[in-house]
Structure 1
Amino acid sequence: MPAQPNPVRSSPAYRLEPGPVTLYAQLAGILRERVKSGVWPNGAEIPTLEELAAEFNVARVTVRQAMQILMKEGLVSSQRGRRTFVTYTPAEDKNPLFVSINMVSSVTPRYEITIISRDNVPESYLGDPYMGKARGPYMRIRKVDFESGDPYSVSTHFVSLPIYKRFGKVGEEQVKIARLVRDKARGALHLCHERVTVAAADLEESQLLKCPLSAPVARIRRVFLDAKGDILYYALLTFRGDRFGIERDTTELIKAG
């Protein structure tokens, strides 16, 4: 009889805590990370419902609900009367998309854009930008960016209307908006700045980015100012956590003061 694959054994017991996120959703997040990180590799047999219930100190039904989420996401598969196996295959390109103002021209042949909406809005729609002064009107553009057919960013952009009118035929449906603003500002840009924070995906973000609710995301606020401090471009971008990275030159840290 051929040897059967050994089920993956996991680390010591966890204690999940009741709260705004259900126990089965918490558990699904932990198990999802085990699959995607390779702790449970493709083809591996995972522990039984009873073993996982004991490990996490939860009811068997909680484990079943968590596993159903992973099955719907295509991460694991189970047939009646058989054990559950990992079916997730990592994408060929798992590298993050390194993002900064300096990368606005960086695209690949697999880059695609879907525009959600466009509308002309007054300056009050910018809310409370962290720097600069809003001076409208602006064209507001909401869009989703894709790489190889997978969404990685959802964003809202406010472009000064005079600059937006210069976008022309090769506009925001084909080119990154920050690049268009840079190229069409006619030398008016004086300062460009970004602020990055880490957060959890809300319901709309999780739906548009096809990631779990409350999955890690990076939020960027990007602002381009003219010499008077007026905002020519303001963007609110949300990136999937697994497709976001930043590189910085930190040589100054090792130089003598």
Structure 2
Amino acid sequence: MPTAIIADDERLMRDQLKSRLEQVWPELEILDEAKNGEEAVALVETHKPDLAFLDIRMPVKTGLEAAKEIGNKAHIVFITAYDQYAIQAFDHGAVDYVLKPADVERLTRTVERLKARLTAQSQPNDMSSMLSQLAKQMGIAAKPNYLQWIQASIGQELRLIPVEEILFFQSDEKYTRVQTATYEALIRKPVRDLADELDPALFWQIHRSTLVNAKAISGVVRDLRGRHLVQIKGLTEKLEVSRSFVHLFKQM
């Protein structure tokens, strides 16, 4: 008996697809349902279904992001509300799709293709490059894999620091200082490299040698020399803002 999971952030859409599938493919067993891409990935790991029906746009992880993580662990079927022009992207790749709302006639054709694949015992496709093309064509930007942890030295100890706990990074010629609310550590990676690897919505570059956690900023002041200085929550230390980055604080 073929098995599947369904992932869609709209419960009514999940129910509707499940009902249509029961009509056109009564042998298919729906093992579980997810309301976002992250849950879908977890369900595939848990249940190891033959098929994963994934909505394209979901919170936490999109269907495209979930499909990339699922890889060849299941055959991917995208659920989408896109028009026929956008659907051409699927037609050029070995991916199946269901248009919202699920139409019995169209769903029947999709089911026939899926049955043929399962009967042939073909391996799910490695879709990494194709998923990137789909994301580009459909205007769904893939989320960059920003750094989540920093490995830093504190004396003789090596520590993993969650990036959200870091107040700021500040580089000199040799090291970069990693400052948290309770301690500081050192790494060898310069700010210019960190700027490309950290989420720009969280870490703002205020100087060629300084990145600051936007959530840690308590205010901006000007000194007697006219320089803009960032105040950090919980610290007396102030960080200089170079002229190139003053525009970040015009509305503050």
TM-score, normalised with respect to structure 1: 0.18
**Largest Rg, 1 or 2:** 2
TM-score under structure 2 length normalisation: 0.19
Structure having greater relative contact order (Cα 8 Å, sep ≥ 6): 1
